[in-house]
A and B are shown apart, each in its own frame.
Chain A
């Protein structure tokens, strides 16, 4: 009964490929997020959806496209992967009211580009 689950846990692929990472939360939260954590452990928000609507879209290459089929799922598709995309990608969720709620994180997807 994992609260926020991401698949796959590890993703090793060649430069130029297209890949997707899936995220599901069973907490009944309204808001979901994608973060990127670099090799120095710096964590940066990429996208956020609230009730399937995009509310945060940071300066991210348009090769990255999030998709939220319903409020329990937020997937991340990456086109034409580059070496600099190697990182750990975290999905998170929170309740959407008031902004005073903690975020719940998945265990991450470690993406390695060869």
Chain B
């Protein structure tokens, strides 16, 4: 069953602007991960945030996690055309340490 739900489904911005994508999930988690998928390619891991963490940074990426609201956000600052891709959140829950449950993704288009 689907766990994560990204919002918005699609986002179009201009180069240089910031992009924010949100993810909501239903059950308690061990960690939440964000992945990027370029057209025709596999998913690439971006960042992992554990359930006891509230915020993580990696380069131009900032991820927050609010376990009380069962939600996470991914912020990409100073976006570039090369950031155009689909972005997925994925959660690991309960005793299933190896299983990731993915959301439907947000398609981000960065216009030059």
Give A residues with C-beta under 8 Å from B.
Answer: 4, 31, 33, 40-45, 48, 50, 55-56, 90, 92, 94, 96, 98-100, 102-108
**Pairwise interchain contact B104-A105, C-beta atoms closer than 8 A:** no
Given contacts A48-B98, A90-B43, A100-B48, 16 further A-B contacts (CB under 8 A): A42-B2, A42-B104, A45-B99, A45-B100, A45-B101, A48-B99, A90-B42, A99-B30, A99-B96, A100-B50, A100-B92, A103-B33, A103-B100, A105-B35, A106-B42, A108-B41
* From B35, B42, B97, B98, contact of A108 by CB (8 A): B42
Give B residues with C-beta under 8 Å from A.
Answer: 2, 30-31, 33, 35, 37, 40-45, 48, 50, 86, 88, 92, 96-102, 104-105
Q: When chains A and B are docked, how far (Å) is the Cα of A102 from the Cα of B42?
A: 14
Q: When chains A and B are docked, how far (Å) is the Cα of A90 from the Cα of B41?
A: 10
Chain B contacts of A45 at CB under 8 A? Answer: 99-101
Q: When chains A and B are docked, how far (Å) is the Cα of A107 from the Cα of B105?
A: 17
Q: How many residue pairs, one in A and one in B, have C-beta atoms under 8 Å apart?
A: 63
- B56 vs chain A, min Cβ distance (A): 13
- A85 vs chain B, min Cβ distance (A): 19
**Of residues A43, A104, A106, A108, which shows the largest number of chain B Cβ atoms within 10 Å of its Cβ?**
A43
Given known A-B contacts A40-B104, A41-B105, A43-B88, A99 and B45 have beta carbons under 8 A apart: no
Given known A-B contacts A41-B104, A42-B2, A99-B30, A31 and B98 have beta carbons under 8 A apart: yes
- A1 vs chain B, min Cβ distance (A): 16
* From B86, B88, B97, contact of A99 by CB (8 A): B97
Q: When chains A and B are docked, how far (Å) is the Cα of A81 from the Cα of B82?
A: 37
Pick 16 A–B contacts, CB within 8 A, sort by A: A4-B42, A40-B104, A41-B37, A41-B104, A41-B105, A43-B43, A45-B101, A48-B98, A56-B99, A98-B97, A100-B31, A100-B48, A102-B45, A105-B43, A107-B40, A108-B42
Chain B contacts of A33 at CB under 8 A? Answer: 98
* From A43, A90, A99, contact of B98 by CB (8 A): A99
**Pairwise interchain contact B41-A107, C-beta atoms closer than 8 A:** yes
- A30 vs chain B, min Cβ distance (A): 10
